[in-house]
Amino acid sequence: MQLPVLNSAGREVSQVELPADIFEAKINVGLMHQAFVRQMANARQGSHNTLSRSEVRATGAKWYRQKGTGRARHGAQSAPIFVGGGLAHGPKPRDYSKRMPKKMRQGAIRSALSALARDEQLVLVDKLDLEAPKTKEMRRFIQALAGEQSALIVVTRDQKTVRKSARNLTKVHSLVAEYLNVRDLLKYDKVIMSLDALDVVKSIWGKGA
């Protein structure tokens, strides 16, 4: 598959041949969904905690007398039916993380990249270089390549000024190529990737890597 390579002004300057094992893989929607669910589950802290009836600090004395009040008999103020009492069957700290084999994770990323390339959502640029962090320059750059659509910028570790320039832009997010994930790839309307970042993607997600 060949895709055009654009410059910062949005004009085509060349074309590049994309590896078929990454960008023409079989699109497995179920596998991408499974990877997405795993990623969201692993992001949960699981630190929620509520007090049960036995953990509430309350007097152990009988709250009111057994007979003569017209009320139901009861012996504890910490019961869940009373204000300030414990919570019945409330959440406790737990681990939400899910496991997924490496080959399945790789297949999910390749499916996402292939879907982006097929739907013409992948935009390749010859270079992403800014001498200093400039939000105004980055806004002009995104406008030329993605218009008013949301965009994910895939960069290398060295392109720190690009990441800083995109921090304050709404609907724009930057991501280091080593950290590609299904959620971010499918969340945005356009995925803008520099040729340097493309080389990193090839080295990590290619079947011969």
Distance from first CA to last CA of the chain, Å, rounded?
19
Rg (CA), the chain: 27
User: How do residues 38-56 score in pLDDT, each as one tens digit?
Assistant: 999 999 999 999 999 999 9
Helix, strand, coil % in the chain, rounded to nearest 5: 35, 15, 50
pTM: 0.83
**In whole angstroms, what is the distance from residue 119 CA to residue 52 CA?**
52
Contact 111, 32 (CB under 8 A): yes
Please name each of the domains of the chain with its CATH number.
2-44+99-205 (3.40.1370.10), 50-95 (no CATH)
User: How do residues 138-147 score in pLDDT, each as one tens digit?
Assistant: 899 899 888 8
- Strands (E) located in the chain: 2-6, 12-17, 122-125, 151-155, 172-176, 190-194
With tokens 């950290």, the residue in question is 179
